[in-house]
Amino acid sequence: MGFPSLSGEQLLIIADVFCAEYDVDVADFSALYAAASVTRAQFSGIRVHTPDTVGPALAATIIKLAPLTDRNAEFSEQVLLVYQAYLELFG
């Protein structure tokens, strides 16, 4: 079951666009990178998430880790939309 992951750099690009639009900043780059890693989490080669659970898990992780100075809930919603579109194209 292969589906695309999101790199830390890709999530940073999304965050940069969001931050410019909503006048917030990245407060914790490690948290942003950790959130992206949810999309490729695996143990012994077995993916932790399925294509159906990975997007919601990514969004929930963004809310929990709060990588931005504000508006993390809105950011998580936008990231989820982008990631779902990414899955549709490349998943």
Is the separation of the CB atoms in 15 and 9 below 8 Å? Answer: no
For residue range 33-70, what is the model confidence (pLDDT) as tens digits?
A: 999 999 999 999 999 999 999 999 999 999 999 999 99
- DSSP assignments along 9-57, one per residue: HHHHHHHHHHHHHHT--BS-HHHHHHHHHGGG-EETTEESS-HHHHHHH
pLDDT for the residue numbered 2: 80
Domain spans, the chain: 8-90
For 15-39, the pLDDT digits (tens) are 999 999 999 999 999 999 999 999 9
Positive or negative, the CA dihedral 22, 26, 32, 33 is positive
- For residues 55 and 80, the answer to whether their CB atoms sit within 8 Å is yes
**Residue 41, φ and ψ in degrees, nearest 5:** -65, 135
pLDDT-based confidence at 90, cuts 50/70/90?
confident
